[in-house]
Structure 1
């Protein structure tokens, strides 16, 4: 069985830090090639954008922000590359290249938290979402509030703190959060817990919430009726946004429950 596999050793994976690829500045020609890659001409795409919203705003989201990429140095701040040698169930020795976070506290089993934050409104529950540019995929991503845990901090404490910092809302942790979940176990060891938080909109602290963002954070906060989450994700993806797997999985679960009347 797969459980018979054994890890033999791990070692850092050394990269050449000067191996880089330069990207051209955003230009009309780049946009033409980008849209052709999706089977659409630039003219067709612009026509689509004009029908639904302002052209300038949408092209701002779609333009590349990348200037250059290069392989990370061996001692990168946030992650490191590892080559693991292991033995498969048949006894064959193999290697696997993967990434590991460097930031997990020694006293923690998780790297961070994702926050399912629900606003309690008379019209029905709404979920807090965020738009945030992510350089690895060069797209603005639709996400739930999230963040890393600090040393000595529980998942629940981290969730309340990150929610306040990123959205300004003050929430209360509810029972029913997830166990430890791994984001992409074939590629890296990153993991998290999903924490359920409710936000009482009658509290004075939640009347005019103000985020406490760091100088390198650029986050747009918005809410969506929970019943419309799946349809809203479909719409946003069509507009050129990327959907984070955590919010996408939550939306799929709601849609499956609706279709199968669970």
Structure 2
């Protein structure tokens, strides 16, 4: 706007100067007036130029001026907002870590408890099993003598039904019973003196190289020993223990050394310098 006014004023200066020169020669009364108007246009031109050169704040400058502090304030605000967020994030991570550690500890404790419970259950089962096994070998010396003479009819027929006790040797917590059936069958047993229960029993037999009846009687006596220690066994079970389990199945007995377990009872058969032995005891002993 001021530039336009200044342009018109500049034009007016030339116009009024020309009119002033013309009126100086023709109409002197208008010379002074035109000269004053030219001077007024000159002053107006100066004024217009002055106003036009005054720096005015532009919209861009206003925006920039406002943006600088605004940007600064925004950074500060962002920083202030980020600081609690970082703290919250760290706190959340810390809490998550603690929860994971707690969960891991609880899982480890659970596994340990389950392991202990499984071990206790296993131990209990083993104890119950041992009790059941022990029950399969549960008789007194008198009961054994009665079983020996009555369970297998052939024992009486072969004259093997009588057990003659030679002596009883008392020890601290044990009584050793030495007995004899005939000249080639001897017996030894460990008995609990408090309960008279048999803890271990062994039958020793001397086979003959010439008398097969004697050898058959030895097999019969071994079978009767198995039956007398556990009357609940069937005839087939007794035969399987003696023949298959302990190796008395027709083969050579020269290197006999067999061990066999069945229903909580341990059977051991051996050849000790020509003397055949069969011992019976609880499997857990």
Q: Judge same fold: TM > 0.5, yes or no.
A: no
TM-score range, shorter chain: under 0.3
TM-score relative to the length of structure 2: 0.21
TM-score relative to the length of structure 1: 0.22
Q: Which has the higher strand share?
A: 1
Q: Which has the higher helix share?
A: 2
